[in-house]
Amino acid sequence: MSSNNLLQSIVDANGGLEYWKSVQSLSVSFEFLGPALESKGIPGPYKVEITVDTKSQKVVFKRFGDFHGSWSPTRTEVGPIGQDTLEVRENPKAAFVTHTAESQWDIHNLFWFVGYAFWNYFNFPFYLEQNPEIQIRELEPLVRENGEKWLVLEAIFPDGYPTHTKTQYFDFDDQYRLRRMRYSVDVFKNNDLPAWHNCFNHAVAGKINYPTLRVVNISVPGVSFFSPFMLRDVKLDVNQE
């Protein structure tokens, strides 16, 4: 199966591109938590309600714990719930240039990180099909200990694209469901430690198959194995034109 055929099969398993074109946005709710938040000085857990735009790169945070606001690649807006005036940060990614692995985050740093992450998670796999600047190729299947084969798609993102890191890997079962993402997180400045983002307990909204539980695992050689982030009780609703 060629890279194009594999991606086409994955898109088709989620309703196809024509169906996706009729989707205007996604309403998503979940709980976001993990020890990495505490290490950055912004401990959770956070109850999250977001609207994810499918036509442009934008996420509206109706609720993120006690905050609300929005994310786009060039701007974050943040304010306490109940307060209409939002604090704006232009070019929020630039704030990470001077960061180290030990740097504490403010709420704009958090909104930048979760904004691009959530936009990519919930627009997947369609944004891979729609952006010709993202290079896609199929790799050899992974054979798991139980003999199950997972199909593997590699994605290389263009410079400046808002995502975790330039090269990422996506693993799928024989039903073309996303089972795992593999990447590192550039803004954490953690020497490219690999993350295994595991996807469980899939459900269907409209024609879109999505995991209701996401658990990120990181292994630090000779030190520890831990789960820095988790999205649980994910519920997705499709808003069509």
**Position 225 confidence tier, pLDDT thresholds 50, 70, 90:** low
The answer to whether residue 241 scores a pLDDT higher than 80 is: no
Distances (CA, A) of 58 to 55, 62, 202: 9, 13, 24
Q: What is the pLDDT of residues 140-190, one digit of tens each?
A: 999 988 888 999 999 999 999 999 999 999 999 999 999 999 999 999 987
**Position 223 confidence tier, pLDDT thresholds 50, 70, 90:** low
**Position 221 confidence tier, pLDDT thresholds 50, 70, 90:** low
**Position 101 confidence tier, pLDDT thresholds 50, 70, 90:** confident
Segment 50-54 mean pLDDT = 98
Q: What is the 3-state secondary structure (H, E, C) of 107-120?
A: HHHHHHHHHHHHHH
Place of tokens 């997947």: 124
CATH code: domain 3-232 is 2.50.20
**Position 227 confidence tier, pLDDT thresholds 50, 70, 90:** confident
Place of tokens 């499918």: 54
Q: What is the pLDDT of residues 13-40, one digit of tens each?
A: 999 999 999 999 999 999 999 999 999 9
Instruction: Name the percent of the chain in helix, strand, coil, to the closest 5.
Output: 20, 45, 35
The confidence score (pLDDT) of residue 191 equals 66
Residue type for position 214: R
Beta bridge partners of residue 152, listed in sequence order: 139, 171
- Ranges of each domain in the chain: 3-232
Of 47, 81, 80, 68, which Cα lies nearest the Cα of 235? 47
Residue bearing the bigger pLDDT, 223 or 23: 23
The answer to whether residue 1 scores a pLDDT higher than 50 is: no
